[in-house]
Amino acid sequence: MGDRRPSVVLTGFMGTGKTTVGRVLAERLGYEFVDTDAIIVDRHGPITEIFAEHGENHFRTLEREVAAELAERDGLVVSTGGRMLVDPVNADVFERHHVVVALTATPDTIFLRVGGDRAAESRPMFAGTDVRSRIAELLAERSAAYARFHQVATDDRWPNQIADEIVALVDHVTADDTRRPT
């Protein structure tokens, strides 16, 4: 990677700290922070409306467009939507030149962070379900996709501690890449 400043791409389930940690990490690295869901909302309107009017497939197409665009840029901390890198196309495009980190947390931690049972009122994926059970189910479904990336646990840790670990990881990965022949 030489003189490049590879972006750091954060993935993981909702409530693992992608946005909070991402902002701290961007400040530490002197990078710009971007959130893929916020980009989509700015360009196309609320995600709930995109799903309602155009369907999930259209939303996933928008995610692919944003992933391809951001993968061309260096010096970013990218917070992705929780399912964005479950799509192997998006995962591949980011992994090609950037450091991808999956933030993890236990179902109990996520349950507390997303507002407990009240999450069913504000998050459609939890409507009419037992929130804690649904979190565990979705984590199990996504675990194989997240497993391909560097893992950083966020349970019982402050955002600055997590950011420090990611900075060390990025330093290690980029140092390894500069020693590889091109």
Binding-site members are 15-20, 37, 60, 82, 123, 142, 157
Identify the CA nearest to 159 among candidates 31, 25, 9, 29: 25
User: Which residue positions form the known binding site for ATP?
Assistant: 15-20, 123, 157
User: Which residue positions form the known binding site for substrate?
Assistant: 37, 60, 82, 142
Measure the CA–CA gap between 137 and 26, rounded to whole angstroms. Answer: 31
Instruction: Look up residue 108 and give its amino acid.
Output: D
User: Which residue positions form the known binding site for Mg(2+)?
Assistant: 19
Measure the CA–CA gap between 22 and 41, rounded to whole angstroms. Answer: 18
What are the structure tokens assigned to 43, written together?
Answer: 């360009």
Burial (0-12, 13-18, 19+ Cβ within 10 Å), 43: exposed
